[in-house]
Structure 1
Amino acid sequence: MLMYLGLISVVAAIIFIIAAVISAFRKTRKVKKMLLLALGSFILLFVFALLMR
């Protein structure tokens, strides 16, 4: 179960990074929010990785 949550957080982080890049090119103000969401996803990934040990 935790493996799937880790996988979901990796996919979410990639999606948020792509969305941040797209927002940067469109010059919208969502870049910071998307990057923070990506960072949060990576933090969740590491938390789940520590729990699986």
Structure 2
Amino acid sequence: MPGPDDDRRVEFLDDLDILPDTTSDERGVGWGEDSEEDSTARLIADRPPHWG
């Protein structure tokens, strides 16, 4: 029969990544965007008409 919970030994794994800092639905790919890192061309194409 095991002893009280205070006697149990628990080892913590500090390098274990349980939950990621950013999930895939928070990135552009999760919203259906291209996985291209450089978005300069997209920003220029999406520029409003009144910006000239």
TM above 0.5: no
TM range (shorter): under 0.3
TM-score normalised by length of structure 2: 0.23
Q: As a proportion of its length, which structure holds more helix?
A: 1
